[in-house]
Amino acid sequence: MYNNRNRFRSFNNSRSGGFSSSRRFGGRNRFRQASFGEDVNVFIKKAETAEETTIYEPKHKSFEEFKIANPLKANITRKGYKTPTPIQDDAIDPILEGRDLIGIANTGTGKTAAFLIPLIEQIFKDRQKKALIIAPTRELAVQIAEEFRSFTEGMKLYSALIIGGTNAQRQIINLRRNPHVVVGTPGRIKDLIQRRNLYLEDFSIFVLDEVDLMVDIGFIDDVKYFISLLPKVRQSLFFSATISGKINEILQDFVNDPVTVSVKKASTAEGVEQDVIKVISRDKKVDQLHDVLIADGVDKVLVFGATKHGVDNLHKELLFRGFKAGVIHGNKSQGARKRVLEDFKQNQIQILLATDVASRGLDIPDVTHVINYELPDSYDDYVHRIGRTGRANKKGIALTFVD
């Protein structure tokens, strides 16, 4: 069980009137605990050392070996990419060849670059081609759009971002400029299709990213609707961390004679050390969190809660205690979410509190700790939460509060 280097401290809670943390921070854990059974060992795992992990031998020793244009190679080098990750190493060539592809990989393995690099190369050579990329969350869509811009600097390729929570009219204007790539979330994409501002038959390349999350959060019918509108002649790229029965329903209609690339080796990230913190009492839980946050080496922390109301209240309490913290969840405007994420990436704040809206797809560098202040709904959600640390072959720590 995780032990802090600092001794436990008591705090003056007069501001809160001796609040009960189970009341103020959403006391749902007693129900969530049952979904994992009584065995908390699922949250305990040592990170594997380099000696314990099989070293991957890439087919391509560097990005220079791929048959892509020099301007794209220059942008890849400028971004600091040297050796392809396994998913990039295996997926880029088949996509360049125009093959449909199913990519199965743990989060944080470089999936975005695995499809963006060959997609950009194809459009750079044939500007009649257009690509539509559908992602489950606004944050992931924003991240993909930003990656596209950085990979295409100086190449005169343009994109449009189509997401909820922002001005639809401005997005419609951007679509009228005939961008080479459109990146969006299901809700806004469906809205603009129905308004006759977006026509899927205009696209020859389609990417569905983080499909397991799209299914989990209720977008399966929307995805099926999009597939029904696609042109028959197309290239389809499908990325997911897991493949379930419902996801197979989508696959049947989406891909044709696909190449399957699977680099998923473990259910949880190998570089993440996982441990639990036993809750002393509900009234002392936030004090225990405080004690973790002031420990040596706890530098950049994602704290997950179960509800919007709960993380908002916890955010206020941490600010009161002097921590630099921000919060994101579904009720925050897109602008507010983007600002907080940028502050976290730039180390302007030490702690980011979030609901599961932040657990998928986000690439936030150098997160040292993920803390599950409240349990997720499922083990898959747990895996995706802790995947925010231990990225890019770095070590990370995941701590889960258990009753």
Q: Which of 34-43, 320-329, 333-342, 343-352 has the lowest mean pLDDT?
A: 34-43
User: What are the structure tokens assigned to 217, written together?
Assistant: 């959060």
Q: What is the pLDDT of residues 197-237, one digit of tens each?
A: 999 999 999 999 989 888 877 899 999 999 999 999 999 99
Residues 6+ apart with CB under 8 A from 92: 60, 66, 84, 114, 117, 118
Calculate the dihedral angle through the C-alpha atoms of 221, 223, 224, 229, rounding to the nearest 10 degrees: 130
Residues 6+ apart with CB under 8 A from 235: 95, 98, 99, 100, 204, 205, 206
Residues of the chain with CATH 3.40.50.300: 14-51+270-402, 63-262
What pLDDT is stored for residue 36 in this prediction? 52
Mean pLDDT for 338-349 is: 92
Amino acid at residue number 188: R
Distance between CA atoms of residues 160 and 177, nearest Å = 9
pLDDT surpassing 50 at residue 29 = no
Among 342, 124, 134, 333, residue whose Cα is nearest residue 225: 134
Computed over every residue of the chain, the mean pLDDT equals 84
3-class SS of residue 88: helix
Q: Is the pTM of this model over 0.75?
A: no
Residue bearing the bigger pLDDT, 244 or 117: 117
Q: Which of 137-146, 158-167, 331-340 has the lowest mean pLDDT?
A: 331-340
Residue bearing the bigger pLDDT, 388 or 63: 63
Residue pair 328/352 in contact by the 8 Å Cβ criterion: yes
Kindly state the percentage of the chain with pLDDT values over 90.
56
Distance between CA atoms of residues 121 and 15, nearest Å = 58
User: What are the structure tokens assigned to 287, written together?
Assistant: 């004090």
Calculate the dihedral angle through the C-alpha atoms of 93, 96, 99, 100, rounding to the nearest 10 degrees: 90
Regarding beta strands 181-184 and 235-240, do their DSSP bridges make them parallel or antiparallel, or are they unpaired? Answer: unpaired
- Supply the DSSP string of 153-173, one letter for each residue: TTTT--EEEE-TTS-HHHHHH
pLDDT surpassing 70 at residue 52 = no
Is the domain spanning 63-262 CATH 3.40.50.300? The answer is yes
CATH number of 14-51+270-402: 3.40.50.300
Q: What is the pLDDT of residues 146-182, one digit of tens each?
A: 999 999 999 999 999 999 988 999 999 999 999 999 9
What pLDDT is stored for residue 165 in this prediction? 84
